Structure 1
């Protein structure tokens, strides 16, 4: 299908500020496809596909990952998979097909009208397996590792070792930058991040066709 919209892949390491940049882009007029939201929705046990996927995850990780209402206890799941690299790979292999299908459908709907569509994706780098869609521009949001560790500990309450595990599990900054057209750094003030995002928006909405 021919699209008159621009599709942007927005990624970045955990606690680097990706969600902040996504919010700024939304305020400027972008339509966001939230990869994390899609990942949550595909394990909704109120849907047939979600119920089957939740059962498979419980078989892999044990039934104590289920909350009383039958949904996944995300804190328990995260603690288990982020402490075991092999288990994390198996968990991702279960989720990936369902997430790709859901995200693809959301991107297709969002691209039916002109404008800027931003797919907020947590894991996108040169090591990522091929995706069933192509971005017109890839943006990664980055910040110094010590700052990200501090944000995870102070803002989200992670213990130091857990914060470091989360950062390691999401890959290396150099691998994200290797495929990025634009790097937005958030080491500075919020106003500096907003200014960088505004510059990005100008690039996205310039009177020229997508590359």
Structure 2
């Protein structure tokens, strides 16, 4: 099995690149999907993690049904670095454990596995697995802000705050084997994904 990391900042186009690779035959492990599973109040793990979050950030970050109020959490963590670090310290270990299990489950059944993981940089802590190749997806900060406003309905202020928090482009590029730019049209991005697929398939 070949394990590929797809990283990049918010709004850069990681999911677009991952979907393009999946359409060509890759198996994708999406960190956002893994996070949603880890935070599912219907599971013992989810209930434990959600209880820890509520204890740290306050009960108002949970919905009436016990699920995470994502909008409220986003308001907190994208405007307060200390709160963001506290939240990540609770959620990230659970995501790492679930991801490691998902990667192990793929070893005998998939030749090419893509792990879509945001914000993998030269400063990231060591992971319990090794990537064969790291790809960072990058786009101009202004374009990323526009995408967040256009596709996610964020205000200009919120979009700017989220892009600013994830501004480690140089530190992502420092560990990347391949850089995929997505500043252009979707057609241009798909052409770059096709080139990436050829390289990964060699």
What's the TM-score once normalised by structure 2's chain length?
0.97
Take 1:62 and 1:192, find their aligned partners in 2: how far apart are those partners? 45
Superimposed CA distance per residue, residues 183-206 of structure 1 (whole angstroms, 9 cap, x where no aligned partner): 000111111111111111111111
Take 1:41 and 1:191, find their aligned partners in 2: how far apart are those partners? 32
Take 1:157 and 1:21, find their aligned partners in 2: how far apart are those partners? 22
1:164-203 matches, within 5 Å, as 164-203=160-199
**Structure 1 residue 126 displacement after superposition:** 0.6
Q: Please tell me whether the aligned partners of residues 27 and 110 of structure 2 are also in contact (alpha carbons under 8 angstroms).
A: no
Q: What is the match of residue 134 of structure 2?
A: 138
**Structure 1 residue 114 displacement after superposition:** 4.2
Q: What is the match of residue 102 of structure 1?
A: 98
Q: What is the match of residue 30 of structure 1?
A: 26
List, as ranges, runs of 4+ consecutive aligned residues in structure 1 with deviation greater than 4 Å. none
Take 2:90 and 2:100, find their aligned partners in 1: how far apart are those partners? 17
Take 1:112 and 1:105, find their aligned partners in 2: how far apart are those partners? 13
Aligned pair partner of 1:78 in 65, 74, 77 = 74
Number of aligned residue pairs: give it: 202
Q: What is the match of residue 86 of structure 2?
A: 90
**Structure 1 residue 171 displacement after superposition:** 3.6
Superimposed CA distance per residue, residues 108-143 of structure 1 (whole angstroms, 9 cap, x where no aligned partner): 112222411000001201111111110000001100
RMSD between aligned alpha carbons?
1.0
Take 1:141 and 1:111, find their aligned partners in 2: how far apart are those partners? 25
Take 1:81 and 1:161, find their aligned partners in 2: how far apart are those partners? 14
Unaligned runs of at least 5 residues, structure 2: none
Secondary structure of 1:44's match?
Answer: coil
**Structure 1 residue 43 displacement after superposition:** 1.3
Secondary structure of 2:97's match?
Answer: helix
